[in-house]
């Protein structure tokens, strides 16, 4: 996560703009941004992310399971159907999940079904850190692990996913602020 990002503009955002900017960092869970708002000002991007993750960590086991169930299955058919958030869609495409053979899709569906049946929530992995083959290997390996271990792993993977998403939004804010300064008319002395 980039630590060179100036958080002063983030800390200066009004409530509505802050939420509009950060509510979608966590999949269908705007509560993370709402809870983080209360922790301002943030000393760093990491502090902002930690404040958002603290909302998730503060949930009881059922709340965390419910949160995990807000996440989509890894699936080529979900990509084609356009049913995922823009972030999830782009992330899954980056791992080549939109270019699987019929056999690969069937295998992924079978593995997803087994994982969900065993653990009660979908398999979650930061796909940007893996190849398609690596995702399949991790899914096969993680099916047999204990559910608490998998819940902890899923939350760690979500932390990696959301650090990337947050970093992208912060960088975009920085580019936007720089672009606005560059376009501002020069004052004559």
Residue 109 in contact with residue 75, Cβ under 8 Å? yes
Q: Is there a common fold for 8-66+162-181 and 72-153?
A: yes
pLDDT of residue 177: 57
Pairwise CA distance, residues 150 & 188, whole Å:
62
pLDDT of residue 49: 97
178 alpha carbon, distance to own chain's centre: 26
Class for domain 8-66+162-181, per CATH?
Answer: mainly alpha
User: In this model, does residue 182 exceed pLDDT 50?
Assistant: no
83-99: pLDDT as tens digits: 899 999 999 999 999 99
CA distances from 74 to 93, 109, 110, 127, 170 (A): 10, 8, 11, 9, 26
Task: Enter the pTM of the model.
Answer: 0.89
* pLDDT category of residue 183 using cuts at 50, 70 and 90: very low
| Domain covering 72-153 assigned CATH 2.30.40.10 in the classification | no
pLDDT of residue 2: 54
Residue that is written with structure tokens 């997803």 in the block = 112
As annotated, the active-site residues are 71
3 state DSSP class of 165: helix
Angle between the 132-143 and 102-119 helix axes, to the nearest 10 degrees? 30
The residue extents of the domains of the chain are 8-66+162-181, 72-153
What token pair was written down for 43? 């000393």
- Mean pLDDT calculated for residue range 123-144: 97
pLDDT of residue 176: 64
Pairwise CA distance, residues 89 & 103, whole Å:
21
39-72: pLDDT as tens digits: 999 999 999 999 999 999 999 999 999 999 999 9
159-168: pLDDT as tens digits: 999 999 999 9
């Amino acid at each position: 996560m980039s630590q060179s990002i100036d958080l002063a503009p983030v800390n200066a955002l009004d409530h509505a703009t802050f939420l509009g900017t950060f509510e979608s960092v966590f999949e269908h869970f705007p509560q993370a941004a709402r809870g983080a708002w209360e922790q301002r000002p943030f000393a760093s991007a990491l502090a902002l992310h930690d404040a958002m993750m603290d909302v998730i960590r503060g949930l009881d086991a059922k709340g965390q399971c419910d949160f995990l169930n807000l996440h989509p299955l890894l699936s080529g058919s979900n990509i084609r159907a356009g049913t995922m958030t823009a972030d999830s869609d782009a992330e899954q495409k980056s791992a080549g999940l939109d270019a699987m053979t019929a056999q690969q899709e069937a295998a992924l569906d079978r593995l997803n079904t087994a994982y969900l049946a065993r653990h009660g929530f979908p398999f979650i992995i930061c796909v940007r850190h893996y190849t398609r083959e690596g995702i399949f290997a991790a899914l096969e390996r993680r099916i047999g692990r204990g559910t608490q271990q998998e819940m902890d792993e899923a939350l760690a993977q979500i932390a990696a996913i959301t650090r990337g998403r947050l970093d992208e939004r912060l960088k975009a804010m920085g580019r936007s602020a720089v672009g606005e300064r560059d376009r501002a008319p020069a004052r004559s002395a």
